């Protein structure tokens, strides 16, 4: 049972480039979300999804797009990378019950130069 | 939306001492409060959680308390050990089904 799998683990981009961070879960979880982690700022919600075909914005959505075509996959797209998007990105998923934990992927460390 | 405040941002203790991390939340509809531990370079992982119908929960050296009236909850670690050194996050979850996290507490346990 792989849980939540993120790829890649590390990435360096040039300003203006675009890329997609992949996230897949094999637990049949309804809810998936993307967070960015910056020093002293905790885990800030970028986008989330409550099921296939349904997405919504979190606290810091600008510069990012998401889609949820299947229950398993929830990719995060950077449209035109900026140095301010240098961060560690975590994908998380959880089941539909109100009192279940969220499981995190291993994270993607992104550097934009 | 939900807002979670967490204090302190850094906590330094001697091995064997107790550590307490406190969080407050704003949405009275929140009913599930997990705590995550993140070791350096690793993903956050759940260490304990508490539901709104419970005031306290204990698991070996860690315990959580919840005061729904005051909208605050706390993590207590007793007999701290160097391997407890990590960043700890509190979170609150309610109608949105997506957890809102505090900013984290860096716990340093000196041997």
pLDDT one-digit tens code per residue, B98-109: 889 999 999 999
Per-residue model confidence as pLDDT tens digits over B38-92: 999 999 999 999 998 889 999 999 999 999 999 999 999 999 999 999 999 999 9
Smallest Cβ–Cβ distance between B101 and the set A43, A96, A101 belongs to A43
What is the tens place of the pLDDT at every residue in A14-40? 999 999 999 999 999 999 999 999 988
The predicted structure's pLDDT at residue A39 = 86
Is 80 exceeded by the pLDDT of residue B18?
yes
- pLDDT at res. A72: 96
The pLDDT value recorded for residue A97 is 78
Max Cα–Cα distance, chain A, nearest Å: 41
| Chain A residues near residue B34 by CB distance under 8 angstroms | 101-102
Confidence of residue A1 (pLDDT cuts 50, 70, 90): low
Instruction: Determine the distance in angstroms separating the CA of B77 from the nearest CA of chain A, rounded to an integer.
Output: 20
Instruction: Please indicate if any CB of chain B lies within 8 Å of the CB of A90.
Output: yes
Chain B residue with CA closest to A97: the answer is B97
Distances (CA, A) of A9 to A79, A100, B22, B61: 19, 26, 32, 33
Which residues of chain A neighbour B98 with C-beta distances below 8 Å? 31, 33, 45, 48, 58
Sign of the C-alpha dihedral computed for residues A20, A23, A29 and A31 taken in this order = negative
């Amino acid at each position: 049972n792989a849980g939540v799998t993120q790829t890649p683990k590390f990435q360096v981009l040039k300003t203006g480039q675009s890329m997609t961070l992949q996230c897949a879960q094999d637990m049949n979880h309804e809810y998936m979300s993307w967070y960015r982690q910056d020093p002293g700022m905790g885990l800030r919600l970028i986008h989330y999804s409550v099921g296939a075909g349904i997405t919504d914005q979190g606290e810091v959505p600008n510069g990012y797009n998401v889609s949820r075509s299947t229950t398993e996959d929830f990719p995060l797209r950077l449209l035109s990378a900026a140095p301010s998007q240098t961060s560690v990105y975590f994908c998380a998923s959880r089941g539909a019950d109100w009192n279940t934990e969220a499981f995190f992927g291993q994270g993607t460390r992104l550097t934009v130069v | 939306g939900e807002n979670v405040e967490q204090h302190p941002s850094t906590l330094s203790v001697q091995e064997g001492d107790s550590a307490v991390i406190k969080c407050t939340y704003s949405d009275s509809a929140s009913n599930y409060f997990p705590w995550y531990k993140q070791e350096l370079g690793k993903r956050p992982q759940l260490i304990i959680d508490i539901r709104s119908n419970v005031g306290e929960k204990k698991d070996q050296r860690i315990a959580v308390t919840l005061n729904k009236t005051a909208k605050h909850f706390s993590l207590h670690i007793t007999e701290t050990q160097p391997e407890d050194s990590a960043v700890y996050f509190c979170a609150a979850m309610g109608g949105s089904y997506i957890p809102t996290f505090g900013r984290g507490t860096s716990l340093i346990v000196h041997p």
